[in-house]
Chain A
């Protein structure tokens, strides 16, 4: 199956700053999903991207799917303490409905 790589593993951000986490796949994906796991919690679905070059926004979060459908990014602007947690990307290919999760980016925020 496909392998999904995610960087950085850790992101320490000053409150109010922006940051981006990146996701890359070894194969072309049919869709990519993003999840957020708060400390001590379980992953919660954020968004799904399906189309090549697709960009979706959720308030301060901007999600992008690459033109080749092999990479994706999550950009958060004006980071707040509520953004603390681990963000996972997860992708699946057209012939495999299973989602492969990236290693996750754990975000901490300095007030």
Chain B
């Protein structure tokens, strides 16, 4: 099946620094990728929709200047957590939908990135 690669899988950073997380679709193209945040034993909270070649669409309550999203190609989206604080510590997961499956196909998830901000 389709594979989405996400890295780093784990990152520890100091408060105030920025961290970039990459999400790549390895064997398909995706005009849209989704970024989620997942707290322990909780559901997936959609943060933003990454759109290839255009600005990301952020969900209500998510600061766009805090979580910078770039979708420069059909296979790569990045999420940068800027000026990270301990409350940003979480599990971040990306997902992508194969361009060929349209708007309602299954989502392929990356392995997730666990961010710890000291």
Contact = CB atoms under 8 A, between A and B. Distances in A.
B103 interface: yes
A98 B105 CA distance: 11
From B42, B43, B46, name the one whose CB has the most chain A CB atoms within 10 angstroms.
B43
A30 interface: yes
A48 interface: yes
Contact of B109 (A43, A97, A102, A106): A43
Interface of B: 32, 34, 41-44, 46, 49, 93, 95, 103-112
By Cβ-Cβ distance, the 9 closest A-B pairs, closest first, are A97-B103, A45-B106, A42-B109, A103-B43, A101-B44, A43-B109, A42-B112, A104-B43, A101-B43
Chain A interface SS verdict (over half): strand
Interface string A27-71: 000110101000001111100101000000000000000000000
Interface of A: 30-31, 33, 35, 41-45, 48, 50, 88, 90, 92, 97-104, 106
B110 A42 contact: yes
Contacts of B103: 97
Contact of A30 (B44, B46, B104, B108): B104
